[in-house]
Structure 1
Amino acid sequence: MKKEDVPQHQSKLETANIREVCYALDENGEYTTELSTGWDPKTIALNNALEQIKERVEEAKKRVLNNETSPLEYYMELHKMDIPILASYVGFWKWQVKRHFKPSVFRKLNSKKLQKYADVFEISIEELKNIKA
């Protein structure tokens, strides 16, 4: 693709002032880099992924409010993490993080463990414990 043909379609990347590097041919036929705001197929895929994340966050919030899981699952989804990533950030084993998802176990966590989670999510322990409807 030629440098002037690099797609510049509107996308969420553009509104976040993010550009993507693409390789293109310049006027001398040599490869060079060009910034792109995105192209329609990628925008559709990105929007679908963001919608799925939004749904997962809402589902996790409902489970927390129904006392089916701890707030850790909600904040993990909100921050686009999974259990292995969260476990690596807090320094716990994956099985421990999964166990901390149980509301009865979460309520018994000491302040040191809660603080580790709060630090990862950049919130206070109080915010970690209390999710509003």
Structure 2
Amino acid sequence: MKKNEVPQDKSNLESANFKELCYAVDENGEYTTVNSSGWTPKTIALNQAIEDINERVAAAKNRVLNNDVSPIEYYMEYHKMDLGILSSYVGMWQWRVKRHFKPNVFKRLSTKTLKKYADAFDVSIEKLKNIELHEN
């Protein structure tokens, strides 16, 4: 793509005063970098991904409020983590973290273990235990 053909469509990046760095060919036929404010197809894909994430967070919140899962699942979804990432942050095996998704197991966790999760999610133990205290 030529330097003057780099898309400058409206996007989420534009509202935050961010620009995406793209490579393009200049007038001498050499590669150079150009800032782009966005590209419509990419913006549509990003918006869809954000919408999907928000739906997953809302579903996790409902499961916690229905006492189907522990708040760990909600915070994991809220922070866009998966089981592997979360287990590496808290230094536990994935099967152990998944076990902590069970409300009856979560209620029996030690303060030390709860602190690991609270630190990973950057919340207090009190907010970890009660998602209604968490501001979305």
Normalising by structure 1, what TM-score? 0.96
The percent of aligned pairs where both chains have the same amino acid is 67
Q: In the aligned structure 2, how far is the partner of 1:111 from the partner of 1:17?
A: 42
Letter aligned with residue 75 of structure 1: Y
Letter aligned with residue 18 of structure 2: I
Instruction: Give the gaps of 5 or more residues in structure 2.
Output: none
What is the match of residue 43 of structure 1? 43
| SS across alignment from 2:69 | coil
**Over aligned residue pairs, what C-alpha RMSD do you find?**
1.2
Instruction: Report the number of matched residues.
Output: 133
What do residues 41-79 of structure 1 show as CA deviations (whole Å, max 9, x unaligned)?
000000000000000000000000000000000000000
- Cα offset for 1:18? 2.7
Letter aligned with residue 80 of structure 1: K
Q: Which structure 1 residue ranges, 4+ long, deviate > 3 Å from structure 2?
A: none
- Cα offset for 1:117? 0.6
Q: In the aligned structure 1, how far is the partner of 2:19 from the partner of 2:5?
A: 15
What is the match of residue 19 of structure 2? 19
What do residues 74-125 of structure 1 show as CA deviations (whole Å, max 9, x unaligned)?
0000000000000001101000010000000000000111001101111100
What is the match of residue 97 of structure 1? 97
- Cα offset for 1:11? 1.1
What is the match of residue 132 of structure 2? 132
Letter aligned with residue 48 of structure 1: Q
| SS across alignment from 1:132 | helix
- Cα offset for 1:6? 0.6
What is the match of residue 70 of structure 2? 70
Q: In the aligned structure 2, how far is the partner of 1:109 from the partner of 1:77?
A: 20
- Cα offset for 1:24? 0.4
Q: In the aligned structure 2, how far is the partner of 1:2 from the partner of 1:42?
A: 19
